[in-house]
Amino acid sequence: MTLTPQNKVKIVLVDDELIVRHQLKIILKGINADLIFFASAQEALNYLLENNDVAMLVTDWLMPDMDGPELITKVRALAQHKYLYIMLLTNLREKESLVLGIEVGADDFLHKPIVPEEIFAKISAGIRLQALKNELKERNERLSEALTHIKEDLQAAAQLNATILPKDSLAVDSIKMSVLHEPCEYVGGDLYGYKKITNDSFAFFQIDVAGHGIPSALLSFSLGHELSKAQLFSDTIIECDLVGIKPQVLNVERAVTAINKNSFHISSDMYFTMTYGVLNVETGLLKYCQAGHPPLILFSDETGEAETHGEGGFPVGIMIDADYEEQELYMQKNDRLFVFSDGIPEAENQQGEFFGEVRLCRLIEEGKELTIKDLLNRIYQQVLDWSEDKKLGDDITIIGFQWTG
Amino acid sequence: MDRVGIDMNFSNEKINSNTLLITVSEDRLDSRSAPAFKEYFTKTVSKEMQKIVLDLACVRFMDSSGLGALISSLKFINNQGAIILIGIQPNVEGLMTLTRMDRLFPQYENLEQAVAMAVE
């Protein structure tokens, strides 16, 4: 590597003998470095304290006030940012001396009596090594800077993503709802939404794009945008042709079929699961379509039991002509309904055991006195505890609401 | 760091002129192993292979990424063939049922039954 004058390195050389300093000066005359000589270790140390741009230190071993190993120990203790390459000049050749030199932090030895070719070659090699180290350090700094930028971008994306999600709690009419949404990375592939689409119909959906991280999040983001623009696809399921008759909700699977047709152009292995539901807030009738998404959990206020509902169905975006089915259940007054993504049942403990749906049902039963919001937080905490120090492997979303009739 | 695609455990064996057995010896088909499986499948399966028997007896857990890999494998062999699953464990079976993928991927208990189906 050729060094340009701009990155000429600084070398501090310490020897109490004038003749040695003179010899070194002559030997290193042509070397591409600034040479700074000192007659005592203390002077050199003072200089190093004030200048952290020195690349290399060459020090004699035996000196009257402070010897080479002591100087090296003190220099290493300075803990400067830059690593100083240190060479120890010595006529001691016993194994013990060399070991001590290495132990206190010397990188190499220069032997006395001085052999000019050896000195020149070793110091040149040291300069090359330092140059490479500096280059590596700069690259690392650039990389960590780039990583910081990426993280900032991701955080910005996460904030933007949050803007398309509705509020995480809602209390209107006969619905008390809360949502817990925790991406496992900055941005995730889980998405949810809800809206009152007619006077008596409350629609909600939850989507989980397969995989997680940025590709899933991008698809999730665009889906969220589409769905909110299309009013949760209410146009496809509400019939309001007849003037004077209140709008009727038709089969809800039409909404999912429409989303499936719209989503089919996405690349071959991107797909998502979803649950789309519409609750009649007058009667408690819930019509839903479960497209590969985990089942719903209905908590009965009367029996105090939580049970899963739903036969499953094709995920969205796999087959353009997939048939979707509507399923139904009736909610009684004060029953609670939960929709969750697979991140909850698939959370694993250290033994590889899954959290599972049964455990989730028991938690819902035990938490019947809690508000929905507190219950969801408790569930999340239990899932985290279950995973112990293992990082959650998937996004987690759970929507819960109570219908007060 | 995991070197995806290098130390993953997949193997194959030609059963007859149009049937190939692929054995997955991973205990998880998830976001970590799914890309390697996809790559292995597209490299291993030639166009004339009409029946792929996929032995999933070792697979204890499959997530949505794993399912995505199966689906894209099915898309890869297109309409000309079938992917038949054998040795399915309960967890994986649950996912196949939930997502109705059991309708796209026939399931048999063992290789003999799968081959018999493949010959038909």
The pLDDT tens digits for B97-113 are 999 999 999 999 999 88
Which residue from A minimizes the CA distance to B75? Answer: A268
Q: Are residues A112 and A174 in the same domain?
A: no
Instruction: Give CB contacts under 8 A, 24+ apart, made by A108-114.
Output: A110/A58, A112/A20, A114/A20, A114/A23, A114/A24, A114/A27
A244 pLDDT tier (thresholds 50, 70, 90): low
> In chain A, how many domains are there?
2
CATH homologous superfamily for B10-119? STAS domain (3.30.750.24)
Considering the domain boundaries, does residue A79 fall inside one?
yes
State whether A312 and B99 contact (CB < 8 Å): yes
Contacts of residue B72 in chain A, CB cutoff 8 Å?
A: 268-269
Q: Which pLDDT score, from 0 to 100, does residue A241 have?
A: 59
Of A139, A157, A177, which residue is a domain's last? A139
Q: What is the mean pLDDT of residues A351-369?
A: 95
Minimal Cα–Cα distance from B68 to chain A, Å?
6
Percent of chain B at pLDDT > 70 equals: 90
Interchain CB contact of B72 with A (< 8 Å): yes
* Confidence check: pLDDT of A7 > 70: no
Q: What is the mean pLDDT of chain A?
A: 88
**pLDDT over threshold 50, residue A343:** yes
Verify that A202 and A305 share a domain, yes or no.
Answer: yes
Same domain, A62 and A193: no
Residue B78 at interface with chain A, using a CB cutoff of 8 Å = no
Q: Do the domain assignments include residue A237?
A: yes
Q: Does A225 fall in a domain?
A: yes
Contact A352 B60 (CB under 8 A): yes
Strands (E), A227-375: 238-239, 248-249, 272-280, 285-291, 296-299, 306-309, 327-330, 336-340
The average pLDDT across B68-93 equals 89
Q: Which domain holds residue A276?
A: 165-403
A11, A113: one domain: yes
Give the confidence band of B2 by pLDDT, cuts at 50, 70, 90.
Answer: very low
Say if residue A28 is in the same domain as residue A95.
yes
Q: What is the per-residue pLDDT for A258?
A: 87
Mean pLDDT for the stretch of residues A263-270: 69
Same domain as A133, residue A268: no
Check which CATH number belongs to the domain holding A263 and give it. Answer: 3.60.40.10
- Phi first, then psi: what are they for A48, rounded to 5°? -65, -30
Work out the pLDDT band at B80, boundaries 50, 70, 90: confident
For A165-171, what is the mean pLDDT? 82
* Beta strands B19-24; B51-55: pairing state: parallel
Low-confidence winner among A14-18, A28-32, A159-163 (lowest mean pLDDT): A159-163
Looking at CA atoms only, how far is residue B73 from chain A in angstroms?
9
Residue A263 pLDDT = 79
For residue A358, which residues of chain B lie inside 8 Å, CB to CB?
A: none
Q: Is residue A219 part of a domain?
A: yes
**pLDDT band per the 50, 70, 90 thresholds, residue A347:** very high
Residue A2 exposed, middle or buried by CB count within 10 Å (0-12, 13-18, 19+)? exposed
Percent of chain A, pLDDT > 70?
A: 94
Q: Is residue A112 part of a domain?
A: yes
Of A2-11, A384-393, B81-90, minimum mean pLDDT range: A2-11
Residue A240 pLDDT more than 70?
A: no
* Mean pLDDT across B35-53: 88
Split at pLDDT 50, 70, 90, the class of B5 is very low
Q: What is the pTM of this model?
A: 0.75
Question: What is the three-class DSSP state of A299?
Answer: strand
| Contacts B69 to A, Cβ<8 Å | 269
Name the residue with tokens 């509507």: A326
d(CA A229, CA A272): 19
Would you place residue B3 in the very low, low, confident or very high pLDDT band (cuts 50, 70, 90)?
very low
pLDDT surpassing 90 at residue A173:
no
Same domain, A122 and A203: no
Picking from A123, A139, A155, the residue at the C-terminal end of a domain is: A139
Average pLDDT on A203-222 reads 84
The residue that leads in pLDDT, A107 or A388, is A107
pLDDT for A5 beyond 50: no
Nearest to residue B28, comparing CAs of B61, B69, B68, B64?
A: B61
pLDDT category at B86 given cuts 50, 70, 90 is: very high
> So what's the ipTM on this one?
0.86
For chain A, the residues whose C-beta falls within 8 A of a C-beta of chain B are 208, 210-212, 268-271, 273, 292, 294-295, 312-315, 318, 342, 346, 352, 354, 393-394
What is the structure's pLDDT at B7?
Answer: 57
CA distance A176 to A370: 13
- The model's confidence at residue A225, banded by pLDDT at 50, 70 and 90, is confident
Domain boundary among A89, A104, A139: A139
Pairing assessment for the beta strands A85-90 and A54-60 based on DSSP bridges = parallel
Q: Model confidence at B48, in pLDDT bands (50, 70, 90)?
A: confident
Which of A122-131, A195-204, A305-314, B6-15 is predicted least confidently? Answer: B6-15
Q: How far apart are CA A56 and CA A133, in angstroms?
A: 12
Q: Is the pLDDT of residue A1 over 60?
A: no
What is the predicted pLDDT for the residue at B118?
57
Q: For residues A81 and A287, which has the higher predicted lDDT (pLDDT)?
A: A287
Average pLDDT over residues A85-112: 88
Interface touch A271/B63, C-beta < 8 Å: no
Rounded Cα gap, residues A108 and A222, in angstroms: 60
- Is the minimum CB–CB distance between B3 and chain A shorter than 8 Å? no
Q: What is the pLDDT of residue A3?
A: 44
Predicted confidence (pLDDT) at residue A137 exceeds the cutoff of 60: yes
Domain boundaries, chain B: 10-119
Cβ within 8 Å, pair B100-A313: yes
Residue A189 lies in a domain: yes
pLDDT digits (tens, 9 = 90+) for A111-133: 888 899 999 999 999 999 988 88
For the ranges A1-5, A281-285, A334-338, the lowest mean pLDDT is seen at A1-5
pLDDT at position A82 over 50: yes
Tokens of A387: 């995973």
Q: What is the pLDDT of residue A145?
A: 94
